Amino acid sequence: MSKREHPSFSSRIGFILVTAGAAVGLGNVWSFTYVAGKNGGGGFVLIYLLTLAFIATPVFMAEMLLGRLGKASTPTSLKKLQTSAGSKLPWALPAWIGLVATILVLSFYAVISGQVMAYGWEALQGGFAGWEKDQIIALDKAFKADPSVPIFWSILFLVATAAIVSLDIRKGLERASRLMMPVLFVMLIGLVIFAVLRADFGAAFNFLFGFNEMQLSPKILMEAVGQAFFTLSVGVGGIMLYGSYMGDDVNLPKASLWIVLMDLSVALLAGLAIFPILFSANIDPAAGPGLVFITLPLAFSGIPGGAILAFVFFLLLTFAAITSAISLLSPPTARLEEAGWSRAKSAWVMGLGAFILSLATTLSFSSWADFYPLAFLGFEGMTPFDLIREGVNNVVLPLGGLAFALMVGWGLKREDVRAALPMENGALFSIWYGALKYLVPIAIIALFLTAIFGGGH
């Protein structure tokens, strides 16, 4: 790989759709809704929007910029930039940690995505049509009770992901995203329209955007930052790798704005689609990770032709999950490719690693449901799945984002950053650069100190 020309996407729209596909996925639909639900809605959403705008988005641009300048795998890119900056700090270390984190995220992502695929199969056989709430809840419990079922679907999902990543980026990543992303938006908008007409949209809107019961705590602040980073896929190097594939004709600031807006739109549309159905069925918003697997089938159960619609939606949700999963599998694949492995072998080996780790999440929903391995350290009530998800979301992603912000804000010369990031408005560049240099590091460090000394984890 290192001796061949570094690949690039075929066009600006191709780059935007692929990178938006990396950002848009289950983090927007599954994770955003259940994390917002368990943290009380409006207050959490407000904090999430602020952290997305002022912390995650500047880091998103910085991570893409590092990729564009490095034009290699994430560790190699950062090593090259460290050398050019004359720094003695181990710039590549966050990239190596990120490579491990991508596989950890993919391990639980595969289990959740496998359930999405399983529900699509259920719908294809006529499932959900006319079902009652109790039947749907029972299906969710039954899926998780027997580990062999989620294992089977996790394997299918990882095979599909590895197959796409094993192809070159234009035949695999770009072609998949061009097809999947636009159709997902159409389906989500249709589901919101259904929620307005048939469900308790007013209660949901008030829950998501009514800030009358804000509950601030170190835990919620960390959850909001972690969710902002998770929905944008920032902090582990996937966005950096896609930045390395960016063509010279791409205006990075404008492309970043489009991608962030698309990502935010999907998260908010998902909330406006799911919570009205939830309130209409008197389901607790804090239902946890299974939330999306209760409300969506319930929506389709009362619609004429609901089974067909459910199949299409879960299929498209699978597509969205795959576009994010390929951004997780791509960085370690690219690194192995640089080391002389074939792209196909790299993708399949890393996919196998993700599957082995996925067993921890699968068992967390069944026989390990009461297994809390780090309870002695104060992490009571946290299964291996909870530890992986919250550890990556709330620790690894923000710390990775902090490292990338410091590299661009303090490690690289301002004039070099300005030259690589053309902004017609110099004031906008100064605002972004100032946020990256001062606001982002101070905010993330302050959040960690508050969480540590304020009793959150």
Reply yes or no on whether the pLDDT at 321 is more than 50: yes
Reply yes or no on whether the pLDDT at 375 is more than 70: yes
**CB within 8 A of 46, min separation 6: which ones?**
211, 214
Q: What is the pLDDT of residue 319?
A: 81
Task: Measure CA of the first residue to CA of the last residue in the chain; give whole Å.
Answer: 41
Domain map (residue ranges) of the chain: 12-453
- CA distances to 51, 78, 188, 298 from 243, in Å: 22, 13, 28, 40
CA–CA gap between residue 215 and residue 211 (Å, rounded): 9
CA–CA gap between residue 275 and residue 272 (Å, rounded): 6
Q: Are 24 and 184 in contact (CB under 8 A)?
A: yes
**CB within 8 A of 414, min separation 6: which ones?**
433
Phi, psi of 75, rounded to the nearest 5 degrees: -65, -40
Question: Over pLDDT 70: what percentage of the chain?
Answer: 92
Range with the largest mean pLDDT of 207-211, 283-287, 396-400: 396-400
pLDDT band, very low/low/confident/very high, at 356 (cuts 50, 70, 90): very high
Q: Are 360 and 187 in contact (CB under 8 A)?
A: no
- Region 361-379: what's the mean pLDDT? 90
CA–CA gap between residue 35 and residue 13 (Å, rounded): 31
* Residue that wins the pLDDT comparison between 425 and 130: 130
- Please give the structure tokens belonging to residue 63: 């991570």
- Please give the structure tokens belonging to residue 379: 């992490």
- Which of 62-71, 75-84, 189-198, 351-360 is predicted with the least confidence, judged by mean pLDDT? 189-198
pLDDT in tens, 279-312: 887 777 877 777 778 877 887 787 777 788 788 8
CA–CA gap between residue 392 and residue 385 (Å, rounded): 11
pLDDT in tens, 377-396: 888 889 999 999 888 877 88
pLDDT band, very low/low/confident/very high, at 44 (cuts 50, 70, 90): confident
Domain 12-453: CATH class, spelled out:
mainly alpha
pLDDT in tens, 222-244: 778 888 888 888 888 888 988 88
**What does the mean pLDDT of the chain come to?**
85
Q: What is the pLDDT of residue 457?
A: 39
| Buried residues in 387-401 as b, exposed as e (16+ CB within 10 A) | bbbbbbbbbbbbbbb
DSSP, residue by residue, 148-191: HHHHHHHHHHHHHHHHHHHS-TIIIIIHHHHHHHHHHHHHHHHH
Task: Please state the pTM of the whole predicted model.
Answer: 0.84
Reply yes or no on whether the pLDDT at 456 is more than 60: no
* Residue that wins the pLDDT comparison between 66 and 246: 66
Among candidates 119, 19, 10, 16, which has minimal Cα distance to 323? Answer: 19
Among candidates 267, 298, 297, which has minimal Cα distance to 185? Answer: 267
